[in-house]
Structure 1
Amino acid sequence: MIQYRILFLSIMLSICNIPYGISQSQDLQFNTKFYDAFDRWVVFSVDENTNKASVGFIYLDEESGPTFYFEGYMDLDKPTLPLTKLLEEASIRKRLETNTSDVAVLSDAQIKNLGLAPLPEWLALYQTKKGTDGYEISRGRWFNAVGASHKAIPILQAIYQKNPHADGLEFELAFAYNATNSFYKAVVILNEAIKHDPSNFWYYRELGYAYKYLDNINEAEKMYKKGISLTKNKYQQAEMAVNMLQGYFHKMDKVKYEEWKSLLIQYAEPGVIFLEYIKLFDDNWGKHKAEGSSNPVN
Structure 2
Amino acid sequence: MKILLFTFFLLISITSSAQLTFDQRILDCENKWVAFPEEYGGLYKYGFIFVDSRAGLTFEYRGNLKIDPTGKIKAYPNEENSSIKVPLYPSKTLIAIIPEANFEQLKISKDPDSQSLNKFKEGSIEQLYSWGSIYNAWGEYQKAMELLEKASKINSEYEGLSVQLAYSYNRLQQYKKAIEVLKKALVVNPTDAFINKEYIYALVNTHQLDAAIDRYRNSLEVCPDKTYVAENAFYILQGYFYKIDKKNFDKWLAQTENVMSSNEQIKKIVEEMKTGMKNEM
Of Structure 1 and Structure 2, the greater helix share is in 2
Q: Of 273, 286, 291, which aligns to 2:263? A: 273
Aligned CA distance change for structure 1 residues 41 and 101 (closer, same or farther; 3 Å): same
After superposition, give the CA deviation of every residue in 1:103-140 in whole Å (9 maximum; x if it has no partner): 22223333345331112226544126665434532332
Task: Find the aligned partners of 1:291 and 1:24 in 2 and give their Cα distance.
Answer: 62
TM-score normalised to the size of structure 2? Answer: 0.76
Counterpart of 1:162 in structure 2 is: 154
1:92 aligns with 2:60: no
Aligned CA distance change for structure 1 residues 261 and 287 (closer, same or farther; 3 Å): closer
Counterpart of 2:113 in structure 1 is: 121
Task: Find the aligned partners of 1:25 and 1:98 in 2 and give their Cα distance.
Answer: 29
Is this contact kept in 2: 1:61–1:126, CA < 8 A? yes
Task: Find the aligned partners of 2:252 and 2:225 in 1 and give their Cα distance.
Answer: 17
Task: Find the aligned partners of 1:146 and 1:193 in 2 and give their Cα distance.
Answer: 23
Counterpart of 2:57 in structure 1 is: 66
Task: Find the aligned partners of 1:156 and 1:201 in 2 and give their Cα distance.
Answer: 20
Corresponding letter in the other structure for 2:100? D
1:84 Cα deviation after fit: 2.0
Aligned-partner SS, 1:97:
coil
1:54 aligns with 2:77: no
Is this contact kept in 1: 2:17–2:101, CA < 8 A? no
Is this contact kept in 2: 1:208–1:224, CA < 8 A? yes
Aligned-partner SS, 1:159:
helix
Task: Find the aligned partners of 1:266 and 1:229 in 2 and give their Cα distance.
Answer: 18
Is this contact kept in 1: 2:53–2:120, CA < 8 A? no
1:35 Cα deviation after fit: 1.8
Any gaps of 5 or more consecutive residues in structure 2?
1-14
Corresponding letter in the other structure for 1:107? P
Corresponding letter in the other structure for 2:168? A
After superposition, give the CA deviation of every residue in 1:267-289 in whole Å (9 maximum; x if it has no partner): 56xx8315x63464346524444
1:145 Cα deviation after fit: 2.8
Counterpart of 1:173 in structure 2 is: 165
Task: Find the aligned partners of 2:26 and 2:268 in 1 and give their Cα distance.
Answer: 37
1:37 Cα deviation after fit: 1.1
Counterpart of 2:178 in structure 1 is: 186
Alignment of 1:257-296 (within 5 A): 257-265=249-257, 267=259, 272-273=262-263, 277-278=266-267, 280-282=269-271, 284-290=273-279
CA RMSD in angstroms, aligned pairs only = 3.4
Aligned CA distance change for structure 1 residues 102 and 283 (closer, same or farther; 3 Å): closer
After superposition, give the CA deviation of every residue in 1:199-245 in whole Å (9 maximum; x if it has no partner): 65543321221233344444443443444443132222222112212
Counterpart of 1:239 in structure 2 is: 231
Corresponding letter in the other structure for 1:87? E
Aligned CA distance change for structure 1 residues 262 and 287 (closer, same or farther; 3 Å): closer
* Structure with max Cα Rg: 2
Q: Of 111, 129, 134, which aligns to 1:142? A: 134
Aligned CA distance change for structure 1 residues 25 and 40 (closer, same or farther; 3 Å): closer
1:166 Cα deviation after fit: 1.6
Task: Find the aligned partners of 1:138 and 1:213 in 2 and give their Cα distance.
Answer: 27
Counterpart of 1:256 in structure 2 is: 248
Corresponding letter in the other structure for 1:290? N
1:33 Cα deviation after fit: 1.8
1:31 Cα deviation after fit: 2.5
Aligned CA distance change for structure 1 residues 35 and 263 (closer, same or farther; 3 Å): farther
1:67 Cα deviation after fit: 2.0
Aligned CA distance change for structure 1 residues 254 and 279 (closer, same or farther; 3 Å): farther
Aligned-partner SS, 1:83:
strand
- Identity fraction in percent: 26
